[in-house]
Structure 1
Amino acid sequence: MKGIFLLLGSNLGDRMQNLQRAKDILAAHEINISDFSAVYESAPWGDENQGWFLNMVLKIDTIHDPESLLQSCLDTEIQMGRTRLKKWGERIIDVDILYYHDFIVESPHLRIPHPGIAMRRFTLMPLVELAPHEIHPVLKLPQKQLLEICPDILECHKTDLHLHI
């Protein structure tokens, strides 16, 4: 995998404004967006009794190592008012590290590549848009093939919404 990829997601309040604000806060943490996907709307994953999500993937450049990048992602969530009440619950913003080049990180609080990539259509669809032929460093399959075999049947579609970069 070439590049560092983040997934943004929101299903509370003005979802599009939440994605925009997260992008702006990340930029203040020395995270530069080099490319980004379209915005996708998806049915909630995990806990289906909540609003639909807007999701998108950012390809970034940064001076941060994986651990400090995670802290910047968590700081962004906190600054936007995210509270973690339950797993897979509603959220104003979620910022996940999907890939950090070909790094494989296994620690108690950080796993790279993100362990849910191959199981989530809302992650793979924007990833395929940006990096269809890049290989998952653990599964050894390209993103496009991971999407083709993804078991997730929840609805996910590209929107006409656009982030201002």
Structure 2
Amino acid sequence: MVRTFLSLGSNIGDRQMYLQSGVVGLANHGIYTIRCASLYSTEPRDVLNQPRFLNTAIEAETVLTPDELLSACLEVEKENQRIRHGAKGPRTLDIDIIFYGDEVLGGAGLIIPHPRFALRRFVLVPLAEIAPQFIDPLSGNTIVRLLEACPDRGGVRLAGRLQQFS
């Protein structure tokens, strides 16, 4: 089993339900949650004229390869009515692979660690809750250190927990 960290977000419809459904859907695809961060209400980035997001992060285990993990994440998004309206627009469910063990992968399709995670407070705050001392294999810094250095000052407010992790 490989330890992986995923970031989940939703900003349309019943956001909490989509996040809950996403975690369950991941388990149905062989991605088993060990820990789930609290839910955080966050401001949209890049495309500002859209609803606020609910974000969380999970630590999970899987036997899937990185490419299989990506395919499973995309399938779970699709199962939750994700329609791609262009980059960074509103979505029912978005799942990003942040880390896959301590692997560093770069290529045309999949880049791990996620190339912008250290610039996104809405990713780092939930990660710091569940794995503050996890070390980014690229920078050698802990999640807490990356959060302290993060240039993003966007609002990230505690908003509850998913039902099965309360």
- SS of corresponding position for 1:72: helix
**Aligned equivalents of 1:151, 1:143: Cα separation in 2:** 14
Of the structure 1 ranges 153-162 and 138-147, higher mean CA displacement relative to structure 2 is found in 153-162
**Aligned equivalents of 1:9, 1:156: Cα separation in 2:** 13
- 1:150 is matched with 150
1:135 positional shift: 1.1
1:164 positional shift: 1.7
For 1:84-103, what aligned pairs fall within 5 Å after superposition? 84-103=84-103
- 2:110 is matched with 110
For 1:127-138, what aligned pairs fall within 5 Å after superposition? 127-138=127-138
1:23 positional shift: 1.1
Length-normalised TM-score, structure 2 = 0.95
Asked if 2 retains the 8 angstrom alpha-carbon contact of 1:19 and 1:163, the reply is no
Query: What is the aligned length?
Result: 164
- SS of corresponding position for 1:78: helix
**Aligned equivalents of 2:150, 2:106: Cα separation in 1:** 23
Asked if 1 retains the 8 angstrom alpha-carbon contact of 2:20 and 2:162, the reply is no
- 1:72 is matched with 72
Q: CA RMSD in A?
A: 1.2
**Aligned equivalents of 2:162, 2:73: Cα separation in 1:** 21
**Aligned equivalents of 1:161, 1:102: Cα separation in 2:** 27
1:145 positional shift: 0.8
Of the structure 1 ranges 12-21 and 24-33, higher mean CA displacement relative to structure 2 is found in 24-33
Amino acid at match of 1:69: L
**Aligned equivalents of 2:95, 2:62: Cα separation in 1:** 15
Of the structure 1 ranges 152-161 and 50-59, higher mean CA displacement relative to structure 2 is found in 152-161
- SS of corresponding position for 1:111: coil
- 1:39 is matched with 39
Taking every aligned residue pair, what percent have the same amino acid on both sides?
A: 37
Task: Provide structure 1 residue ranges, at least 5 long, that are not aligned to the other structure.
Answer: none
Amino acid at match of 2:80: M
Task: Provide structure 2 residue ranges, at least 5 long, that are not aligned to the other structure.
Answer: none
Amino acid at match of 2:120: R
**Aligned equivalents of 2:124, 2:79: Cα separation in 1:** 27
Amino acid at match of 2:124: L
1:160 positional shift: 2.3
1:54 positional shift: 0.4
Where in structure 1 do 4 or more consecutive aligned residues deviate above 4 Å?
none
- 1:141 is matched with 141
- 2:63 is matched with 63
Asked if 2 retains the 8 angstrom alpha-carbon contact of 1:44 and 1:51, the reply is yes
- 2:30 is matched with 30
- 2:50 is matched with 50
**Aligned equivalents of 1:135, 1:161: Cα separation in 2:** 25
